[in-house]
Structure 1
Amino acid sequence: MTGLVPHYLCERWRTPTDAGTPRRHAVSGAEVCRVTAHGIDAGPAVAHARTVGIPALHGLGFAERARAVKLIARHLSQ
């Protein structure tokens, strides 16, 4: 079995406390990870995105945003 995916929310890591829901590989059906939103309060997350995240993205140029997306894609494909 794989571990739960931790959340990075409102500038801190949060470790899930429940068993989560398995996410499976599209071809093999093997469990890839477990995810959960149990205990996550969406209100503060949305407020943080609006007050911190969006202004930070607006401060980046096109090339900088593209670089950030590339880094995220590279991390997710590992």
Structure 2
Amino acid sequence: MNKDFTFTVKSTLFDENYNPSENTRITTNFANLARGQEREQNLRNTLVMIDNRFNTLAHWDNPKAIAMPSNLKLFLLK
């Protein structure tokens, strides 16, 4: 029995310019943040929270508490 299959991988940067595609499920949290009039501010606030949390968790590796930004990508497999 042959169970081969093919798929494609696409990625997009998750930043304040993130814009979900039209076929993104409405229940996707990242997509919900990126919709509406306040979309850019919502995304900025979310990225600040993520950066703060990552920096808090990495205190053992960052004893001087130097703020380090995170870069996030969203992946789509079809």
Q: Give the alignment's TM-score, normalised by structure 1.
A: 0.30
Higher helix share: 1
Q: Give the alignment's TM-score, normalised by structure 2.
A: 0.30
